[in-house]
Structure 1
Amino acid sequence: MAKTALIEHRPWLLASVVASIAYYLLSDNPFGTPFPAFGGVWLILLKGAGVALLAAYALRRAHCLDGKILALVLALSAAADMALEIEFAIGGALFAASHAVAIILYLRNRREQLTGSQLALAAALLIATPAISYLLSERVEVAAYAVTLGLMAAAAWTSRFPRYRVGIGAVLFVVSDWLIFSDMGRFDLGILPALLVWPLYYGGQLMIATGVVQTLRGEPVAE
């Protein structure tokens, strides 16, 4: 990447990572909060900032239509992150909208040729995501939301974007949601959800954002 690009665009990624780490350390997690007075609306805004800054990165780095679609996906996710702290159903609806837009992005960028194993894994994501979500949560509405989540993950895996970046990022998103759903049902995973949900979710979004942007810009990216 050129020096000017580093100066102009990498700070968006750095700021996103810093905001994400700060939210994790300041929020209610197994490590505790070093600044107990920090909370309320400021913590909600900090939570949304992590992925919102990824949306800004996408807009700055990929000026094509697909880049704008990616930015919309990330912006909706950032809004969902904040809404979850206020009303869970609204946050879920915003995430479903984000998945729907992501599906459009991935279908616009379908991989021309797929192997049998790639198709099999996409089918497994499509079926297992809502099925496991229902088993964990025991809620029909959660399973309905997870249909969009599974479609998103399957579409990401079969897109032309790098599977080891975008595909795995989508799978991390699915796993983070499974950990959330486990708290709704009879499965007690102890501190694992509190410990892992945010790192898996944000890590997945970071991998998706950087993988899609680098592909759209024609930059070298690992498959």
Structure 2
Amino acid sequence: MTAGAGIFITSLVLGAAYWAVWCYRNKGRAGLLVKTGSVALLAVWAFLMGGPVLLVAALALSAVGDAFLAGKAERWLLPGMAAFFLAHAAYVPLFWQLGEGGWTWPVKAGQAALVVGGVLFARWLLPSVEPKMRVPVLLYTAVILMMGAAALALPGAYWLATLGALMFIASDVILSFLLFRHPKDGPANIPASLAVWGLYFGGQVLIALGVTGNLAA
């Protein structure tokens, strides 16, 4: 087994362990290390596979965001959102470059549907967001919609990356519901928490595989 394969498998094992044990309850130090390590190792793997700098940067920034969001939302939500904002900001030019020439009418229709859906969701969500967080939420919504629109324009060979990007967006939709619409004193929503991590981590894995796999072909 090569070093790269070992790192990739370790990343998957950590991601699965976090999904099964920690994502729906108090993280603790062990949960923090497992959560952050899963995506950090994915960034290391992408680097070893010769992945683009923007891909490695997006994964590394996501790992930083994971570390922040493993803490209490009252203190670490804004830094976590900032790290993920930068991660999406790295994905946007990466997907634009890889999708050059892919702006067909079906793609434009899909992008329009994504943006309209995102705007409607933000309008529904915003009244539940405390005033100081509304601008960050709007900025984050804008950048993730840009990321999704760019991913939809990727050529068919990059379908894994496109699927991964859409899974990432779905994860953030569910997470925003848990953060801003779910009663703070209500019981934990275990199915939603499982879906958030499964879609997010699975999406990151598919993005990494989709991009690096095509560059190696």
The answer to whether the superposition gives a TM-score over 0.5 is yes
Kept after mapping to 2: 8 A contact 1:157/1:163: no
Tell me which of the two structures has the higher relative contact order, counting C-alpha pairs closer than 8 angstroms and 6 or more residues apart: 2
Segments of 4+ moved more than 6 angstroms: 186-189
Q: Provide the rounded CA distance (Å) in 1 between the counterparts of 2:111 and 2:59.
A: 22
Q: Which residue number in structure 2 is paired with residue 143 of structure 1?
A: 138
Does the 8 Å contact 2:19/2:194 carry over to 1?
Answer: no
State the partner residue of 2:22. Answer: 27
Matches within 5 A, 1:97-112: 97-112=86-101
Instruction: Indicate the RMSD between aligned Cα atoms, in angstroms.
Output: 2.4
* Residue aligning to 1:3: none
After TM superposition, give the deviation of residue 108 of structure 1 in Å: 2.0
Q: List runs of 5+ in structure 1 lacking aligned partners.
A: 1-5, 219-223
Q: Paired residue for 1:17?
A: 12
Identity %: 29
Corresponding residue number in structure 2 for 1:171: 166
Q: Is the 8 A contact 1:127 1:150 kept in 2?
A: no
How far did residue 190 of structure 1 move?
4.9
Task: Verify: 1:93 aligned to 2:93, yes or no.
Answer: no
Unmatched 5+ stretches in structure 2: none
Alignment of 1:52 with 2:6, yes or no, is: no
* More divergent stretch after superposition (157-166 vs 203-212): 157-166
Greater helix share, structure number: 2
* Distance in 2 of aligned mates of 1:161 and 1:56: 26
The alpha-carbon deviation at position 25 of structure 1 amounts to 2.2
Deviations 1:59-105 (A, max 9, x none): 00116xxx222101100001001111230110001000111111121
So what's the TM-score if we normalise by structure 2? 0.84
Does the Cα contact within 8 Å between 2:171 and 2:196 map onto a contact in 1?
yes
Shift of 1:172: 0.6
Whole-Å Cα distance in 2 between the matches of residues 24 and 186 of structure 1? 20
Q: Distance in 2 between matches of 1:193 and 1:137?
A: 20
- What is the distance in 2 between the residues matched to 1:156 and 1:121? 11
**Separation in 2, partners of 1:72, 1:121:** 27
- State the aligned residue count: 203
SS of residue paired to 2:2: helix
Amino acid at match of 2:181: G
Find the aligned partners of 1:131 and 1:92 in 2 and give their Cα distance.
20
1:209 alignment counterpart: 208
TM (normalized to structure 1)? 0.81
Amino acid at match of 2:199: L
Question: How big is each residue's C-alpha offset from its partner over 1:32-55, in whole Å with a ceiling of 9 and x where there is no partner?
Answer: 7xxx9xx52221121111111111
Amino acid at match of 1:83: F
| Deviation (angstroms), 1:164 | 2.7
Residue 54 of structure 2 corresponds to which residue in structure 1? Answer: 69
